[in-house]
Amino acid sequence: AQKVTQAQTEISVVEKEDVTLDCVYETRDTTYYLFWYKQPPSGELVFLIRRNSFDEQNEISGRYSWNFQKSTSSFNFTITASQVVDSAVYFCALRNRGDKIIFGKGTRLHILP
Amino acid sequence: GAVVSQHPSRVICKSGTSVKIECRSLDFQATTMFWYRQFPKKSLMLMATSNEGSKATYEQGVEKDKFLINHASLTLSTLTVTSAHPEDSSFYICSFAPGIDNSPLHFGNGTRLTVT
């Protein structure tokens, strides 16, 4: 069975603060993929990153960074120097090879000006 | 620019009528696509997966006769909600997978369906 837990339902931070969105996953497979998506108020989903289970390298893309820790089954997402435009719902997702993708319940992030 | 075009973005219909939602990939071909449903402030729920030229695979609890999916080509898929009822009101999102590992990377902007 596979499961994705995003324990933080809603987070509010003041602009320019750093914020980390947590994601913990469960799977019995050794080959799997992890994802983060952003859903702004307009509704469309925006793909942010895909990481396969064999690549534990952390990744940085501008103000975004991801920390993949297989030992704790976590794939956390950090936004540095947050901006109001970062306000959105963020979904973490897991997909076992050959199986469907499972989304977490999402974390609603509010960046206050 | 947009990679996936989904329309209409909003539709209001009366109970008993059918609504067709179209999803088109603009600059790539995908053999696999997904249709999701999202209730307000909830996560995405996969409704069905379809491969071009074959019948869609529906998730448990999703009525295939009510939610008709046609994946007519590598760039076009449609979802028809037949005999819509108020409980079908929701946000529907399509997604195309590039084909390498069938991961949904490109999403449409979604369709907000309201059934009165």
The pLDDT tens digits for A5-15 are 999 999 999 99
Question: What mean pLDDT comes out for the span B93-112?
Answer: 80
Phi-psi region of A71 (alpha: psi -120 to 50; beta: other; left: phi over 0): alpha
User: What is the least distance, in Å, from the CA of B84 to any CA of chain A?
Assistant: 22
User: Taking CB atoms and an 8 Å cutoff, what residues of chain A touch B43?
Assistant: 91, 103-106
- Which residues of B sit within 8 Å Cβ distance of A? 34, 41-44, 46, 49, 59, 91, 93, 95, 101, 103-110, 112
Are residues B29 and B75 in contact, defined by beta-carbon separation less than 8 angstroms? Answer: yes
What would the pLDDT profile of A74-110 be if each residue is shown by its tens digit?
Answer: 999 999 999 999 999 999 999 888 777 889 999 999 9
Bridge partners (DSSP) listed for residue A57: none
Question: What mean pLDDT comes out for the span B65-93?
Answer: 93
Determine the pLDDT at residue A39: 94
Q: Give the amino acid at B88.
A: D
Are residues A70 and A23 in contact, defined by beta-carbon separation less than 8 angstroms? Answer: no
What the block records as the tokens of B52 is: 């071009």
Are residues A53 and A30 in contact, defined by beta-carbon separation less than 8 angstroms? Answer: yes
B38 — pLDDT class (breaks 50, 70, 90): very high
Determine the pLDDT at residue B99: 60
Pairwise CA distance, residues A100 & B30, whole Å: 16
* A20-29, A44-53, A96-105, B93-102: least confidently modelled range: B93-102
Instruction: Tell me whether residues B109 and A97 touch, CB distance under 8 A.
Output: no
Burial class, A10, CB count within 10 angstroms (exposed 0-12 / middle 13-18 / buried 19+): exposed
Pairwise CA distance, residues B15 & A65, whole Å: 46
Pairwise CA distance, residues B14 & B21, whole Å: 16
* A25-29, A84-88, B70-74: least confidently modelled range: B70-74
Contacts with B63 (C-beta within 8 Å, 6 or more apart), sequence order: none
B2 — pLDDT class (breaks 50, 70, 90): low
Average pLDDT, chain B: 88
